A and B are shown apart, each in its own frame.
Chain A
Amino acid sequence: MDRTVTLRSARFRADREADWQLLESLITQAERRGLQRMDFASARDLAASYRRATTSLAIAREISLDRALLDYLEALTARAYLCVYAPQERLGGLVHRFFTASAPQALRRSWVFILAGFLCMALGGLTGYLLYLENPSWYFVFLPPEMAGGRTPDATTAYLRSVIYSTDPDTTGLGAFATFLFSHNTRIAIFVFGLGVFVCLPAIALTFYNGLGLGAMLALHVDRGLGWDLGGWLSIHGVTELSAICIACGGGLQLGAAILFPGPRARRDALQHAGRDAVKLALVAAIMLVAAAILEGFFRQIVQDMTIRYAVGWGVGLLWLTWALLAGRSRA
């Protein structure tokens, strides 16, 4: 008399319904409390029950025409999939791994690109220096007036010296830190990295241009016999900050190179692959920029002696280099 049980799909559903409802409750538990805090038995059941549900879904798609069942199973397995394949990493371990392994390894892997970044900057500096010596009016081309801050070829040597050894800055402490963090160089670093995607050219051009301004300013001070003093003034934060720009440029170049020379991969895949290291370079550059802002905001005004400025600047630079070269090497 009871015709209903003869329906294969109805029997299929009746047999498995309890298991699906168990899975549903496990999902709610996992979503509310997190997988880490579930006890062992429930976590094991969740994984096993999820795999049974995927099988059920695959079978139901073949044998059942019950829309309600299909919709339910689709939603249930999708929800369970999102729970089972959730990221399982802890924040502390992540930060630790970044500093002790993945960042320095990425730096070493992309040494060619970083070297290219440093070369761009150095070539720009050399060009700026030579062009200034040939004709000082180039200075105004490379350094816009708001950046030069009065330090033009028309300024007196005494004024230039006073800027380098100024003991009375208009901002100090936190305010200075914030101002320097969002200064010209940070913006350059962001652009240099982001624009690298457009086949490298903007990254190279911007780094070169940054070098030009640097070279011209150095030439002006050398001309007035203040070369070593400017070097000290720049070193204290510049070693870190300019290296950050070069590393950001290296990351940008890596992205651009992936688009120019994708090799056997599709361009999209090559970009994704290059992105893995490039992002780490960008993060390193960001950390270095913050460090540079601290040095610039707090230490540049406190340390007035030229040799100590050199020592601090290049000492910090050496620390970065040691970290990049030695950290995260396996013991083998």
Chain B
Amino acid sequence: MKLFRRKKPRPSSDTILSPEGVPLTLKVAGLGVRIAAQLTDLLLTLAAAGATLILLAVLNLTEPHTLFAIGAMLFFLTRVPYYVITELLWNGQTLGKRLMKIKVVSHDGRTLGTHAIVLRNLMKEAEIFLPGTLVLSLDAASPILSLTALAWAIMAFLIPLLNPWRQRLGDLLAGTHVIHLPQPVLLKDLARETIPIETDGTRITFLSHQLDHYGAFELQTLETLLRADTGKMTPTAYDNHRKTLATIIEKIRRKIGYADPVDPADHPAFLQAFYTAQRAHLEQRQLFGDRRADKHHAAAETSA
């Protein structure tokens, strides 16, 4: 019998299949940002419980020897509803999560249910707070109990590290995980800029065989370079930017066999024209089922 089955390669952990059948990209939030959110929430609930305790003490409703028990009860009674209610009202975000711009989503892409929110937050009690208080109230008299609490706490911490969605035990049971909120920013379309004409009046044109060398990766790298904001650059940075452009143009010219030398004043215009022509060419090839991921596409085709 095989103990370890080799699993099929899984789809990226950052995609969720929406009910419309279109996979969406939602980046899984790491442990660091989640701990930061958790600490914020912890401080908030502690402050609320502390304020209530002081109020009770002022009203003379407490006795010195039950102060600790009442405090523990108040903390418990504030934090349990806090997590459940905030996540219900703000669509999977507590105040700490709002601050860190992260969010709970349902693992299967459907609506985040009430059951899931209640379950994952109740498990938080068993997973974090119970071993936490046990570890804090350790004494040498009961080593077995303290070691069990420690082992439980370590296990609770290790589970998220061992799965790609960084789910803790409560997430696993509830079928949820935590993601970064995506920020949509629409940049202008480079291909819609009118192609500038060279200083000597001729238009830059490329032949179809000249555009067969590169793939989508190179095109999108060029796009990033063209989007660099030259207006905000320091003089030295601008100098370096121009030098980079010159080197790239030399490389492109040698690779595609573009005979005419390009005047330094025309460098941005040349790259702009090349980007547009290359993108038009690649997109057309793609429509005919010929996806070119990068410049090695020719080698990949012959080997396959």
A contact residues vs B (CB 8 Å cutoff) = 2-4, 6-10, 13-14, 17, 20-21, 24, 51, 54-55, 57-58, 62-69, 71-72, 74-79, 81-83, 85-89, 91, 94, 170-171, 173-179, 181-182, 190, 193-194, 268, 271-272, 275-276, 279, 282-283
> Known contacts being A75-B182, A171-B66, is A87 close to B24, with CB within 8 Å?
no
Kindly list chain A residues whose C-beta atoms are within 8 Å of the C-beta of B259.
Answer: none
B residues 123-141 near A (Cβ < 8 Å) are: 125-126, 130
The one of A57, A65, A67 in contact with B282, judged by C-beta atoms closer than 8 angstroms, is A65
Which residue on B lies nearest to A272, using beta carbons?
B175
Per-residue CB contact flags for chain B residues 173-200 toward chain A (1 = under 8 Å, else 0) read 1110000011111111111111100000
Assuming A89-B88, A94-B114, A272-B175, is B276 touching A66 (CB within 8 A)?
Answer: no
| Known contacts A2-B194, A65-B283, A87-B88; A75 and B185 CB within 8 A of each other | yes
Residue of A nearest to B125 (CB): A190
Closest 4 interchain pairs by CB? A175-B66, A75-B182, A75-B184, A68-B187
A241 → chain B, closest Cβ, in Å? 16
State whether the Cβ of B91 lies closer than 8 Å to any Cβ in chain A. Answer: yes
Q: Using a CB-CB cutoff of 8 Å, which residues 261-299 of chain B contact chain A?
A: 276, 279-280, 282-284, 286-287
Tell whether A86 pairs with B112 under 8 Å between CB atoms, given A67-B223, A174-B62: yes
> Which B residues fall within an 8 A CB radius of A?
16, 18-20, 22, 24-26, 56, 61-63, 65-66, 69-70, 72-73, 85, 88-89, 91-92, 103, 105-106, 110-115, 117-119, 122, 125-126, 130, 172-175, 181-195, 216, 219-220, 223-224, 227, 276, 279-280, 282-284, 286-287
Chain A nearest CB from B107 CB (Å) reads 10
Q: Name the residue of chain A whose CB is nearest to the CB of B186.
A: A72
Q: Are B182 and A79 in contact (CB under 8 A)?
A: yes
Closest to B26 in A: A78
Chain A residues positioned under 8 Å from B287 (CB to CB): 8, 63
Known A7-B280, A24-B184, A174-B61; judge A279-B115 contact (CB<8 A): yes
Asked, given contacts A54-B20, A65-B279, A72-B186, whether A85 binds B216 with beta carbons under 8 Å apart, the answer is no
In addition to A79-B184, A89-B88, A175-B66, 17 A-B residue pairs with Cβ atoms within 8 Å of each other are A4-B191, A6-B280, A7-B280, A65-B279, A67-B220, A68-B190, A69-B186, A69-B189, A75-B185, A78-B182, A85-B110, A86-B112, A87-B88, A89-B114, A91-B85, A271-B173, A272-B175
Partner of A275, one of B91, B112, B119: B119
Residues of B within 8 A of A179 (CB): 66, 69
Does B190 contact A66, Cβ atoms closer than 8 Å? Answer: yes
Q: Are B25 and A78 in contact (CB under 8 A)?
A: yes
Q: Are B192 and A87 in contact (CB under 8 A)?
A: no
Write 29 A-B pairs (CB below 8 A) sorted by A numbering: A2-B194, A10-B191, A13-B189, A54-B20, A54-B22, A58-B22, A65-B283, A66-B279, A67-B223, A68-B186, A68-B187, A72-B185, A74-B24, A74-B25, A79-B181, A81-B24, A86-B111, A87-B113, A91-B88, A91-B89, A94-B88, A173-B61, A175-B62, A176-B66, A178-B73, A182-B69, A182-B73, A193-B126, A194-B130
User: Do A76 and B184 touch (CB < 8 A)?
Assistant: yes
Q: Pick the contact of B189 from A3, A10, A87, A176 — CB < 8 Å?
A: A10
Please state if B187 and A72 are interface contacts (CB–CB under 8 Å): yes
Q: Chain A residues near B118: list those with CB within 8 A.
A: 279, 283
Are B220 and A65 closer than 8 Å at their CB atoms? yes
Residue of B nearest to A71 (CB): B185
Q: Which of B16, B192, B280 contacts A14 (CB 8 A)?
A: B192
In angstroms, Cα B85 to Cα A72, docked, is: 32
Complex interface: chain A residues within 8 A of B26 (CB): 78
Known: A66-B190, A86-B111, A175-B63. A3 touches B183 (CB 8 A): no
Picked from A17, A68, A175, the residue with its CB within 8 Å of the CB of B70 is: A175
CB–CB B62/A85 < 8 A: no
The CA-CA distance from A206 to B129 in the complex, in Å, is: 21
A214 to B250, CA, bound (A): 88
Distance between B159 CB and nearest chain A CB, rounded to angstroms: 12
A276 touches B115 (CB 8 A): yes
In Å, the complex CA distance between A89 and B91 comes to 10
Bound form: Cα–Cα A51–B22 in Å? 10
What residues of chain B lie closer than 8 Å to A272, measured between beta carbons? 173-175
A76 to B283, CA, bound (A): 23
Q: List the A side residues contacting B194 at CB < 8 Å.
A: 2, 4
CB < 8 Å neighbour of B56 from A65, A174, A177, A271: A174
How far does the Cβ of B109 sit from chain A's closest Cβ, in whole Å? 8
A68 to B284, CA, bound (A): 19
CB distance from A168 to the nearest CB of B (A): 15
A residues in contact with B56, CB < 8 Å: 174
